[in-house]
Structures are given as C-alpha cells and as structure tokens.
Structure 1
Amino acid sequence: MAILSEVAKRAGSGKLVIATVASTVGEELWKDYRAIFRKLGVKHISHLDVVNRKEAIDHRSLKAVEGATAIFFTGGDQLKITSELGGTLAADEIFRIYERGGMIAGTSAGASVMSETMLVAGSSDSSYRIGSGVRTAPGLGFVKNMIIDQHFAERGRISRLIGVVAQNPRYLGIGIDEDTAIIMDEHESFRVIGKGAVYVIDAHEATESNVADAAVDTALSIFNVRVHVLSAGDTFDMPTKTPCCSPASADLAPKKRRAAALKNSK
C-alpha cells in the first residue's frame, strides 16, 4: 500500500488515470484500484481500457486521459499495451502529460513497458543460453538506457536479465522485486521505495562475452559485469552508473518529468 500511496500523493488533487490495457480482466482491476485510490484520497479517477486497437483510436480513449496529471498502468501483458496504444491519440496525449511534468507509473507489465526496449518473454529457471528465446520488443520509452524486469527475485530472473544486457551493454538491467518501486528523476537518477530490492546489472565495462559467437544452446559467458543491490532509500545516478545510500527522508522529489516503474502485490 505504501507504493500506491506514493502514486496517490503524486497525483495530488489532479486526475489519475488507471490504464488496464495490459489485462484481460480490466473491469475487475479498475474496480479494485479505484476503491484503493479513493481510500488514499484521490478524488478524480478515470479508466482507460482498450479491448482492441479500434477502441484506442476512438476519441473516447483520448477523453479518458485528457487533463490527467498521473497515469497508472496495471499488470498483464506489456505487448498488449504497446500494440494497442502505440501511435494512437491516447498515447500521444499520455506523452504530452509526461512532457508537462505528469507522472507515468506502472506495476508488473506496466513497469516493463516504461523502457525503450522491454522484456516480453523468456525462461528464468536456468542459466541463460544462446538463442534461448528471450524476447524483447519496443517499449513506450519513458525511461532511457535501461531494460526493466519485474517479480525479480521471486521468479529468479537474474539470468535472463544478464542475457539481455549482454546483447547490448549500453543498457542497464533493472530488476525490481515485488512490493518495490523505483522513482525516476529527469532520467538522471532513481530512488528505491518499498519492501524488497532493486538489482542493477551493469555490463558497460564487460571485457569478454560469447553472446554473438557461441553455438545455440551454449551457456552465456560474460566477464566483468557489475551487480548492485539497492533497497529502500538508496539512489542510483544514471550518468555515472553509481549507487548511493541515502536516507529515506531525503528530499529527492522529481523536478519536472516523472516516471515510476512499480511492482506491488496486486
């Protein structure tokens, strides 16, 4: 509840849109989250649910997000978010909300979709193997130079995130545990909130990798990869790729543009 309280606080007295686009049970999620956010004091709540792309193109979807100060994407299938919303009037308005300083937040699939390139599918029960079928796709692109994975420690997803980062070490791999969130500040830094940990996989100084040369089904080999584990109150500076311990009470509120990649138990 602490993470959703943070969303409610940042929505303030403005309009919060609950976007259930990723889910096949959008109406149920809408009712659940509407009740929660009302209890948290949010008075103006709207619902964006797209069953098919034709609805996303419709002006009713645009009306659902117009004038919002915060957008919250629920869990489900992140590819459904991008394929149904991408290039629509509603998506354009969401980006304008972001550019005006609004908050864009998401849980589970709604967290993964925040990055330029998103993880879509892939096994997480063994070491990463070349050609293992880990799939990526273009995300919404609110946060740069990172790939986000969620349910991270709970589902043992470190190997697949390292495998994806090995394919292009320009990207940081960000693994977010359940009941945990990162809050981005102008693409410059993020702060961790919640009960779990955030894992940062940094391969920009990797010295060797077989990801491009080994035969299919060969186990991945990569050297000199850094792994940072952050908990509540810790921060990470993106330009310098440096973690820092920070009191949870530190004033790290975003300045203008705000994006949060969230994971909670819902």
Structure 2
Amino acid sequence: VIVPTAEGNRNAEGAVIAYTEDEVIASWVKRGLKHVRMLHTGDPKVADTDAFVEPLRTANAVWFNGGRQWNIVDSYANTRTYREFHDVLARGGVIGGSSAGATIQGDYLVRGAVAGPQVMMTPEPNHERGFNFLRHTAIDQHINTRNRWDDLIPVIQKYPDLLGIGLSEVTAIVVHGDRFEVMGAWKVAIHDNTRVYQPWEKPYYVLSAGDVYNMKTRRIEKFGTGARAPARGGRGG
C-alpha cells in the first residue's frame, strides 16, 4: 500500500488535490510489485471508515511518500487507518517511507509546523506527534544535502528521553525489533542524551553502512565495512 498523502491534500488555491493510482504506484510496478494499491484521503472522516481501510487489512507492507509530514497527521491521526497501520506491523508486515514518510514514523514529529520545514519544533499541538512506529524517537532527514546535522540538538535537549535519528539522503535504516542496520551511501546521525560527550564534541555521533545499532540499549552492536571503532567520548560527530 502506497500512501502519497504527505505530498499535499490541497493546493495553494485551496482546491483538493486528486491523486491517480496508476501514477502513484507506477514506480513500484516497474520494480516488479504485482499487488500494490494507493491509499489516500484528505478527510479524516473517510479515513475512519471500514471501507477505506480495507486494503490495509490484507497488506504486508506500507510506504509513505515524502512531502510535508503534517498532511499525514491531518488525514489519519486517531482514525481506523492509523490503527490499521499499526496492525500491519503487529502481524509482521513492513512500514517504510522517504523524507516526510520517514519522519512520520517517529514519536515526536520534527518539522511538523504548517509554516514550513524550517521550524524544527512546531507550536501546533496537533502536529507534535508522529505515528510512533519507532517508539521514543524523533526522526529527521536530508541531513547531508540540507546541512541539518545539528538540527535535532534542541529537540533532544527539550525531550531528553527521545533518541534522535538523522537520516542522510540515499541512506536508510532497516529495523528489526529494537535493532537497525544502516544501508546506503551516507551517514546516520544518532542523538543520544544518555551518552557522555567531550566538551569539544557535538552531542551526536554517526553510523555508517553495515553498522548495527540497538535502540533499547543505545549501543552499537556491530561495525560495518570500513567503519572505525569510536573514540572514548563517542564516535564521529
């Protein structure tokens, strides 16, 4: 099931944006998927109906496209659709996403302000919470191409129990239970408030492709190809 909702529910003139299923799923069909559907509505009342969630009840994977993450919240928070997303995970399915589709998977919703993605912590209470597929996390993206390496620092300062995960482009984490492995060409920044940093270090460290990280113990369990052991005060930064 492909969810394009982050791309927008209405255009600048306020008109409802119409999505065509063939266009939304085209790239996935080219990859060889044979049973793929689009799921989209801008109306939470529709998202709360049995008819709308029917494709999710037999789905084994959900993908959230990029855009603005608050659009996803506006459509699906506190609805049957939200619960069915979690049910996909509960029965062993997979949930993934890119850009806003990655951020929505965290607990705290970074860049959730309607005013724009430059606002790291929204003043809007209804846009503070993500969908919590990765519990106790705050997830940022595009950290390499948009120089966002430090942007999670104030979030973790305000919410020190959260684990901050900053994703570079062309880079992903593949999560199994409490662990994830880094895949891709760039780095993942880990903002961990339980770790002691030296005065000259920034309060995060980076993981590379092949590194395996335990989010529960907050420890690197395996270093990937080419990764070096961390210095005493922390790795990378």
The question of a shared fold, defined as TM-score above 0.5 by the shorter chain, is answered with yes
Residue type at the aligned position of 2:65: T
Cα gap change, 1:88/1:158 in structure 2, threshold over 3 Å: closer, same or farther? Answer: same
CA distance in structure 2 between the partners assigned to 1:146 and 1:26 by the alignment: 32
Checking the alignment, whether the CA contact within 8 Å between 1:123 and 1:134 is kept in structure 2 is: no
Match of 1:204 among 194, 198, 205: 194
Q: How many residues align?
A: 211
Q: Which has the higher strand share?
A: 1
Structure 1 residues 8-23: aligned runs within 5 Å: 17-23=1-7
Instruction: Give 1:174 deviation, angstroms.
Output: 0.7
CA distance in structure 1 between the partners assigned to 2:154 and 2:18 by the alignment: 32
Q: What is the alpha-carbon root mean square deviation over aligned residues?
A: 2.8
Instruction: Give 1:175 deviation, angstroms.
Output: 0.5
- Name whichever of 72-81 and 113-122 sits farther off: 113-122
Verify: 1:134 aligned to 2:134, yes or no.
no
| 2:102 alignment partner, SS class | helix
Residue type at the aligned position of 1:103: V
Residue type at the aligned position of 1:246: G
Structure 1 residues 104-253: aligned runs within 5 Å: 104-119=95-110, 120-121=112-113, 134-135=121-122, 137-186=128-177, 188-205=178-195, 226-243=203-220, 244-246=222-224
TM-score by structure 2 length? 0.78
CA distance in structure 2 between the partners assigned to 1:106 and 1:133 by the alignment: 19
Checking the alignment, whether the CA contact within 8 Å between 1:26 and 1:49 is kept in structure 2 is: no
Name the counterpart of 1:48: 39
Instruction: Give 1:19 deviation, angstroms.
Output: 0.8
Determine which structure has greater relative contact order: mean sequence separation of CA pairs < 8 Å that are 6+ residues apart, divided by chain length: 1
Checking the alignment, whether the CA contact within 8 Å between 1:111 and 1:148 is kept in structure 2 is: yes
Cα gap change, 1:180/1:203 in structure 2, threshold over 3 Å: closer, same or farther? Answer: same
CA distance in structure 2 between the partners assigned to 1:104 and 1:116 by the alignment: 15
Instruction: Give 1:83 deviation, angstroms.
Output: 2.2
Instruction: Give 1:55 deviation, angstroms.
Output: 2.4
Cα gap change, 1:123/1:46 in structure 2, threshold over 3 Å: closer, same or farther? Answer: closer
TM-score by structure 1 length? 0.70
CA distance in structure 2 between the partners assigned to 1:148 and 1:26 by the alignment: 28
Cα gap change, 1:133/1:237 in structure 2, threshold over 3 Å: closer, same or farther? Answer: closer
Gap runs ≥5 in structure 2: 9-16, 227-237
| 1:163 alignment partner, SS class | helix
Instruction: Give 1:166 deviation, angstroms.
Output: 0.8
Checking the alignment, whether the CA contact within 8 Å between 1:235 and 1:245 is kept in structure 2 is: yes
Residue type at the aligned position of 1:134: M
CA distance in structure 2 between the partners assigned to 1:124 and 1:141 by the alignment: 20
Instruction: Give 1:205 deviation, angstroms.
Output: 4.0
Cα gap change, 1:133/1:40 in structure 2, threshold over 3 Å: closer, same or farther? Answer: closer
Gap runs ≥5 in structure 1: 1-16, 126-131, 208-221, 249-266
Checking the alignment, whether the CA contact within 8 Å between 1:75 and 1:108 is kept in structure 2 is: yes
Instruction: Give 1:39 deviation, angstroms.
Output: 2.1
TM-superposition CA deviations, 1:202-235 (whole Å, max 9, x none): 222469xxxxxxxxxxxxxx99764221122111
Name the counterpart of 2:12: none
CA distance in structure 2 between the partners assigned to 1:133 and 1:101 by the alignment: 32
Residue type at the aligned position of 2:95: I
Name the counterpart of 1:216: none
Match of 1:27 among 19, 23, 26: 19
